[in-house]
Amino acid sequence: MSTLAPATWFKAMAWAVALLLVLLAGPLAVLASGRLDLDAQWHSASREGTGQAPDPLLEPGAVIQVYGARTLRWRGAFGIHTWIAVKRSGASDYTVYQVLGWRAYRGGRAVDIRQGVVPDAHWFGEYPDLLAQRRGPGVDAMIDRLEAAVADYPWPDRYRVWPGPNSNTFVAHIARQVPELRLDLPATAIGKDFLGPTTFFASTPSGTGWQFSVFGLVGAAVALEEGLEINLLGLSAGIDLNDAALRLPGIGRWGAGG
């Protein structure tokens, strides 16, 4: 046993390192692609709207939209920042819900709620993808439960880029409380799997399956929307059977449904 144990340990470590290198291939490919502006400055980057949100003066009905955009500079090779925009029936503007790290770092609340802002703005120069949308009858009731989920968020004053709680942890929490959103957060939403120090099982953000996660660092998920996904050190990979696509760290969804 004494001669086999070191060899077994070495093989396990070798497999773990190999898997980690595979998971890092996606972020490295994004960095090598040149699509990220590694010199972007937050104070001068674009925050203009992208025209994806219905004009509240022309759309009388209720609207919920979830957006995600690459984070600033090199971190965008790994993950995205997500936020939720809502408009009640008859409202003349949107309210945006998100978590901002700099607010927590300065001693304030990480949860940021702003009314009357552009809901679909560039995230400091990065174009946002519309991840989920619900409009019309019944959406006002969904907004009621969404606001209750915001108030019930377990870490309103905390922020940690990796492995969470961060902006994606916040949006995933809300999605679990409002499963009608059917929000399928991509593999690049690092922090979506953070469930806290004492919770290890939960529904997936889409509400169509279940996941196991240890501090957002190791876990797995099986769901209709998310498909099959594993998580190692916050990097997620898997296969999206619903869309016939791969879920890749750094890259996101790739394939027929990408």
The predicted-structure confidence for 54-75, as pLDDT tens digits, reads as follows 999 999 999 999 999 999 999 9
In this prediction, residues 131-145 reach a mean pLDDT of 97
Residue 70 within a domain: yes
- pLDDT confidence of 1, banded at 50, 70, 90? very low
Can you give the pTM of this predicted structure? 0.93
Residue 4 within a domain: no
Residue 84 within a domain: yes
Q: How far apart are the first and last CA of the chain?
A: 49
Q: Tell me, what's the pLDDT at 258? A: 58
Residue 3 within a domain: no
> What's the domain count of the chain?
1
Q: How far is CA 123 from CA 38, 73, 211, 248, 258, in A?
A: 14, 11, 29, 22, 21
Spatial distance between the Cα atoms of 122 and 211, rounded to a whole number of angstroms:
31
Residue 68 within a domain: yes
pLDDT single digits (tens) 3-37: 557 778 778 778 777 777 878 899 999 999 988 88
Residue 1 within a domain: no
Burial class (CB in 10 A: 0-12, 13-18, 19+), 94: buried
Preceding amide of 205 cis, omega within 30? no
Task: Name every residue whose Cβ is closer than 8 Å to that of residue 201 and which is 6 or more positions away in sequence.
Answer: 195, 210, 211, 212
Q: Tell me, what's the pLDDT at 4? A: 55
Residue 99 within a domain: yes
pLDDT single digits (tens) 109-127: 999 999 999 999 999 999 9
**2 vs 122, residue with greater confidence:** 122
pLDDT single digits (tens) 176-199: 999 999 999 999 999 999 999 999
Residue 137 within a domain: yes
How much of the chain exceeds pLDDT 90, in percent?
A: 80
Structural domain for 216, as ranges: 9-255
